[in-house]
Structure 1
């Protein structure tokens, strides 16, 4: 009987910059009290899931969320391993920009009339706007982001597939999760336009391909 690997992929809890309605990519900020409580509640919801491993991006907000989830979930002995392949998009000169300004600028640039789900669906074009406007030299090309996320999932799945249907906790970021939806189920970008703090998606690896579970 073939084993599968199930990834429980969540966005970090609310941060200071989230609270201030600022765009946040490679810029980091600490979790708010509300962010910590939400991560703890998610951990309690996942009490019946036995994780064989846990990973987060190398930001403090993702690592703290992962540790908080595991403590509330009852597996605080499990180490959260950081991996920079799980990082958010670098937003370049848009880092810490007011969210409303950021979103309206993207919509204007792509000539979208106030339709957030359409903005989401055109994810690669959004990235292109960010990439072309970058003055920092830090924004990665889109293919580098997709490559690092896919390589992380494939490497992790290959390392765990020999176990008996293992479950993996991953704490990452909104644009990173949208990129995974773009790769494996693009239509979901219309159905789930906003990835809120501690939203969770589930991806299964069957040894051949990834699929997003409903």
Structure 2
């Protein structure tokens, strides 16, 4: 298999981000400041020789990816493609809910009242398992379901990647943070979510992942 780099960018800020609501498979458009943030990221990445560009199939990620590709030196050579495998975590019943309220409901049975408390006491994967458990419909993804999907996404990129490629992937806050937590090669602080339009760097070598940079604010 090839050795290549993935430039993981979180989508620009959306209306649900602004209102601090649970935004997994639900979707809201980029807010005006989210569009401007994505444009700043696009300018910072314009000289990167991207061989391919991917986003999740959420509109917020698709729109961010297009802004970056349109500015890129290879804009006439690459066409953004959608990979549903890199969607955000699915929050099931809790989609669209006020975030602090949702995490209180999920964490309280386990002695935690916030998302950060759950991570500190039980780890990031537990947030997924606890959410599925708390969902009265049990539709939310648990960690096993989530990682099966994410791993399938990496395998799809493997099929097109070549040695030395630089690949753009626009995804989501919890997804980028989860990937960093699992493949953290730099002792990055995952108690902080990656900011909108930030860059996280991943090296993939023969099917093995290493996150080498996390939550870099582009344009600074």
TM category, shorter? 0.7 to 0.9
1:1-214 correspondence to structure 2 within 5 Å: 4-77=3-76, 78-112=78-112, 116=116, 119=119, 122-161=123-162, 163=163, 165-185=164-184, 188=187, 190-214=189-213
Unaligned stretches of 5+ in structure 1? none
| Whole-Å separation in 2 of the counterparts to 1:52 and 1:109 | 47
- Change in CA separation of 1:65 and 1:117 when aligned onto 2, cut-off 3 Å: farther
- Change in CA separation of 1:118 and 1:193 when aligned onto 2, cut-off 3 Å: farther
| Whole-Å separation in 2 of the counterparts to 1:176 and 1:35 | 18
Q: C-alpha deviations, 1:18-66, integer Å up to 9, x for none?
A: 1122110111111111111111101111122110001111111110010
Q: TM-score, normalised by structure 1?
A: 0.86
Query: Contact 2:118 / 2:127 at 8 angstroms: preserved in 1?
Result: no
Q: TM-score, normalised by structure 2?
A: 0.84
- Change in CA separation of 1:128 and 1:138 when aligned onto 2, cut-off 3 Å: same
- Change in CA separation of 1:91 and 1:188 when aligned onto 2, cut-off 3 Å: farther
Query: Contact 2:88 / 2:171 at 8 angstroms: preserved in 1?
Result: yes
Q: C-alpha deviations, 1:112-167, integer Å up to 9, x for none?
A: 47683762671111111210122345323321211221221133134212x5x111
Q: Say what the alpha-carbon RMSD is for the aligned residues.
A: 2.5
Count of residue pairs brought into register by the alignment: 211
- Change in CA separation of 1:136 and 1:186 when aligned onto 2, cut-off 3 Å: farther
| Whole-Å separation in 1 of the counterparts to 2:105 and 2:56 | 27
Worse-matched range after superposition: 112-121 or 19-28: 112-121
| Whole-Å separation in 1 of the counterparts to 2:4 and 2:131 | 34
- Change in CA separation of 1:190 and 1:213 when aligned onto 2, cut-off 3 Å: closer
